[in-house]
């Protein structure tokens, strides 16, 4: 049961196609596994369809239909099958990567501290987007940190709490510079999250700052 969902402005941006790549991937990865948000998204897409219906028609070139028909009759390029296998790090048994990551390439898991690994995810459409995976071992916590901008998290596996609330697989979280938090995986098992940060991550303390530098965020 999912308890934490993206806010309406994110879903509306997804419906309208106006989100930046990283934000869209996070929001889409939540919607994939959340029937409630699929319904919310569908209402907003229906609003988009209704607005489209009501637009004043633009005139098209006179041969537009003929050219479209010609394109339909042209032989189609076969679609390459998409595989995430090998392009994303190893996942625990039973966990599936979101389809939203199917175009992405990510590094293998890299050690960033006791019980903590991360993987930098690169989006072909926006390689600079700060998108990454975090893998926190059972009972371990991240360094206390805040963000210069927006931070979005989608829990893919396990659960964590951060002093504010509990987040389990399927949950979505949005924080900003008003939140200082220290996510901690529950003792019962490891936790894997997909995260996006809009600005720099600001860690507290020198060791934590070093970690921040390693992660380049």
Partner 1 sequence: MPTSEELNGLARAVAVQSDRQAFAVLFKHFAPRIKSYLILGGTGDALAEEITQETMVNVWRKAHTFDPERASVSTWIFTIARNLRVDYFRRQDARLVYGAEEEAEAQADTLPALDEQVLAQERESRVRMAMARLPDEQALVLRLSFFEERPHARIAAELGIPLGTVKSRVRLAVNQLRRLLSGIES
Chain residues that interact with partner 1, rule: CB under 8 A: 7-9, 11-21, 23-25, 28, 31-32, 38, 42-53, 55-61, 64-65, 67-69, 71-72, 76, 99-100, 102-103, 123-126
How far is Cα 100 from Cα 151, in angstroms, rounded to an integer?
A: 18
Contact indicator for 20, 130 with CB cutoff of 8 Å? no
What is the closest distance, in whole angstroms, from the C-beta atom of residue 195 to partner 1 in the complex?
17
Closest to partner 1 by CB, 14 or 201: 14
d(CA 56, CA 30): 35
Are 159 and 191 contacting, i.e. CB atoms less than 8 angstroms apart? yes
Which residue's CB is nearer to partner 1, number 101 or number 155? 101
Identify any residues that bridge with 134 across adjacent strands, giving them in sequence order: 118, 193
Output the smallest distance, CB 48 to partner 1, in A. 5
CB of 211 to partner 1, least distance (A): 29
Backbone φ and ψ of 156, nearest 5°: -100, -25
CB nearer partner 1, residue 26 or residue 211:
26
Give yes or no for a contact between 4 and 165, defined as CB atoms under 8 angstroms apart. Answer: yes
- Closer to partner 1 by Cβ: residue 23 or 112: 23
Helix (H) or strand (E) holding 37: helix 35-53
Smallest distance from partner 1 to CB 129, Å: 10
């Amino acid at each position: 049961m999912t308890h934490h969902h993206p806010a309406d402005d994110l879903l509306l941006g997804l419906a309208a196609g106006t989100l930046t790549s990283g934000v869209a991937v996070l929001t889409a990865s939540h919607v994939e596994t959340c029937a409630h948000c699929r319904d919310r998204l569908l209402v907003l897409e229906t609003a988009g369809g209704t607005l489209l219906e009501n637009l004043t028609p633009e005139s098209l070139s006179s041969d537009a239909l003929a050219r479209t028909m010609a394109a339909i009759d042209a032989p189609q390029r076969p679609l390459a099958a998409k595989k995430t296998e090998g392009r994303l790090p190893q996942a625990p048994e039973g966990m599936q990567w979101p389809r939203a990551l199917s175009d992405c390439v990510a590094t293998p898991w890299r050690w960033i501290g006791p019980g903590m690994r991360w993987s930098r995810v690169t989006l072909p459409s926006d390689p600079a987007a700060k998108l990454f995976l975090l893998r926190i071992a059972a009972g371990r916590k991240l360094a206390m940190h805040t963000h210069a901008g927006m931070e979005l998290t989608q829990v893919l596996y396990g659960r964590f709490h951060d002093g504010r609330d509990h987040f389990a697989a399927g949950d979505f979280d949005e924080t900003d510079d008003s939140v200082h938090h220290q996510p901690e995986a529950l003792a019962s098992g490891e936790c894997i999250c997909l995260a996006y940060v809009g600005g720099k991550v600001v860690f507290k303390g020198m060791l934590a700052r070093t970690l921040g530098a390693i992660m380049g965020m």
